[in-house]
Structure 1
Amino acid sequence: MKPHIYIPAPIDSNRGSIIVSCPERLGIVATVTQFLYEHGANILNSDQFSSDPHEGFFFLRIEFCMENFAKRIDHLRQQFMPIAIRFQMTWRMTHLMERKKLAIFVSKEDHVLRELLWRWNIKELKADIVMVVSNHPDMEPIVTPLGIPYYHVPVTKETREKMADIHLELLEKHRADTLILARYMQIIPGKIIERFPNQIINIHHSFLPAFIGGKPYHQAFARGVKLIGATAHYVTENLDEGPIIEQDVSRVNHRYQVEDLKRVGRDLERIVLARAVQWHINDQIIVHDNKTIVFR
């Protein structure tokens, strides 16, 4: 076999990743890296994690650069299948320059939405925001000047399931692959969660699992906490119990009233959700059971 001579490829158009989770056994890293080598890939970054010995699971993420990767990705996926079967892998191979299509759902609080729009506008958020949906009309003046479609879809407890069909039609129309709940104060129906597994990211304004459900700042005030937090997590049908992606906290004291807690919490919510969204669109997250492994 002739040795490979690597010719550097333009990273912006030929960068990919492969993410693997499987039962732990010898030879996983060697086999995956050998596969990439044989197909002319240059490994740019590699990270791995072994879970608790009793569970025996292994997680791997490799970023690489390969000539004509975008055109070859389907063939490479087919070629990798025997390896995946051999090691019982759950895996995905992605082209990192393919921009995810985000749909943002929001209610009346604008701070998290503004943060995401700002990061998108300065090109820090490398994704396409294909639409913003709200159960109120309030955010339209913020969104439409940016050229992003805005849809006002009123939702009540009684109409939630019917409105879910409208939401699904809009998501299909705009080919959204990720939903961001930017303080969207409505329960997401199961039919949407089923359609977008581990693709709906919510920001909850507490340090979960504390203060699940509504009015967590009021709950925190009543409990007299000394820390408040925010949690970004994937949405499941169990309210506020999906896999946690990112969390942060800030100290408070007995002088803080509910409005003070909200003020501090808004900053936490903005940064925590922005981090989670960035890691998701960069394909840096593996969901395993009800936990996440975040390679950062």
Structure 2
Amino acid sequence: MLILRYILTIACPDRVGIVAAVSGVLAAHRGNIVESSQFSDTESGRFFMRLVFDLDQATEPVLLEHFTPLAQQFEMDWHLYDRRRPPRVMVLVSKAEHCLNDLLYRHRTGALPMAITAIVSNHRELAHLADWHAIPYHHLPVTAATKPEQERRILDLVEQTRTELVVLARYMQILSPELCRALAGRAINIHHSFLPGFKGAKPYHQAYNRGVKLIGATAHYVTANLDEGPIIEQEVERVDHAHSPE
């Protein structure tokens, strides 16, 4: 018997009995729930659930066979992940190296369990970091005239490397609406302001000019509306008049 840990995510129309039905199927196949969180959004009428559970690997096909009709009954969008397999991530950067450095360090130490498929940049400056970490580096320069072709090559790389998530780590290019649609729900941006305040370029300078006393950083999904995608996580830090934008 090989016990593995799985993650099950669910989104569906809200109704009575979802939690009982899901936990019942897991219990029937001797799945042991070790973590559970759920949320009912009254505005949208949607229900969201995330379960972490242990299961005998040999039981997984049978569980899926019995869970699929349940998912159809409740109109679920659902995904089952094996915790042993880290997500495949592509990182987009420009010239600033601090975000990439942090991601690479956390990846190397195991703090961020992910498989980095490639680093893509419109400049050559950070190739040495990719070389040091033995990660493929793709230099794809871009101008206004070549942007459609450059973005097509990014999508080709996403497909070729079987990338599941694209992370923009100070990638100083605005993605076209076409690329945003192609990567919908699969691209994350790290913006150095406490959104929705100070969108766009030089947010620290915007904050400094307004005299704010709290600055922040935001991770959000990328959409065609600049810095307006669904927020994933945020952090803030207090500043005072002695701090410069730099």
In the alignment, is the contact (CA less than 8 A) between 1:77 and 1:93 conserved in 2? no
Q: Does 1:248 align with 2:235?
A: yes
Q: Does 1:57 align with 2:75?
A: no
Distance 1:241 1:66 in 2: 39
Q: Match of 2:108, as an amino acid?
A: N
Q: Does 1:72 align with 2:37?
A: no
- Structure 1 residue runs without a partner (length 5+): 1-6, 260-296
Distance 1:254 1:178 in 2: 39
Partner of 2:170: 183
Distance 1:250 1:76 in 2: 46
Q: Which of residues 28, 32, 36 in structure 2 aligns to 1:38?
A: 28
**Residue by residue, what CA displacement relative to the aligned partner does 1:133-161 show, whole Å, maximum 9, x if unpaired?**
11111101111121101111111233211
Q: Does 1:82 align with 2:72?
A: no
Q: Match of 1:63, as an amino acid?
A: V
| Deviation for aligned residue 1:78 | 4.3
Q: Match of 2:197, as an amino acid?
A: A
Partner of 2:13: 23
| Deviation for aligned residue 1:255 | 2.0
**Residue by residue, what CA displacement relative to the aligned partner does 1:230-266 show, whole Å, maximum 9, x if unpaired?**
110010111111110011111111222211xxxxxxx
TM-score, length basis structure 2: 0.93
| Deviation for aligned residue 1:197 | 1.9
Q: Does 1:233 align with 2:216?
A: no
Q: Tell me, what secondary structure is at the counterpart of 2:115?
A: strand
Distance 1:239 1:24 in 2: 31
- Structure 2 residue runs without a partner (length 5+): none
Q: Which of residues 138, 141, 161 in structure 2 aligns to 1:154?
A: 141
Distance 1:116 1:174 in 2: 19
| Deviation for aligned residue 1:55 | 4.1
Distance 1:196 1:81 in 2: 26
Distance 1:104 1:36 in 2: 36
Q: Tell me, what secondary structure is at the counterpart of 2:242?
A: coil
| Deviation for aligned residue 1:170 | 1.8
TM-score, length basis structure 1: 0.78
**Residue by residue, what CA displacement relative to the aligned partner does 1:61-82 show, whole Å, maximum 9, x if unpaired?**
111111115x835x54443222
Equivalences, count: 246
Q: 20-29 or 179-188, which moves further after superposition?
A: 20-29
| Deviation for aligned residue 1:213 | 1.0
Q: Tell me, what secondary structure is at the counterpart of 1:169?
A: helix
Q: Tell me, what secondary structure is at the counterpart of 1:64?
A: strand
Q: Does 1:166 align with 2:135?
A: no
Distance 2:15 2:162 in 1: 38
Distance 1:196 1:32 in 2: 30
Partner of 1:91: 78
Partner of 1:131: 118
| Deviation for aligned residue 1:89 | 2.1
> Where in structure 2 are the equivalents of 1:194-213 lying within 5 Å?
194-213=181-200
Distance 1:77 1:186 in 2: 41
Distance 2:196 2:94 in 1: 23
| Deviation for aligned residue 1:91 | 1.8
| Deviation for aligned residue 1:176 | 1.2
Distance 1:128 1:105 in 2: 14
Q: Tell me, what secondary structure is at the counterpart of 1:232?
A: strand
RMSD over aligned Cα atoms:
1.8
In the alignment, is the contact (CA less than 8 A) between 2:94 and 2:121 conserved in 1? yes
Distance 1:57 1:131 in 2: 35
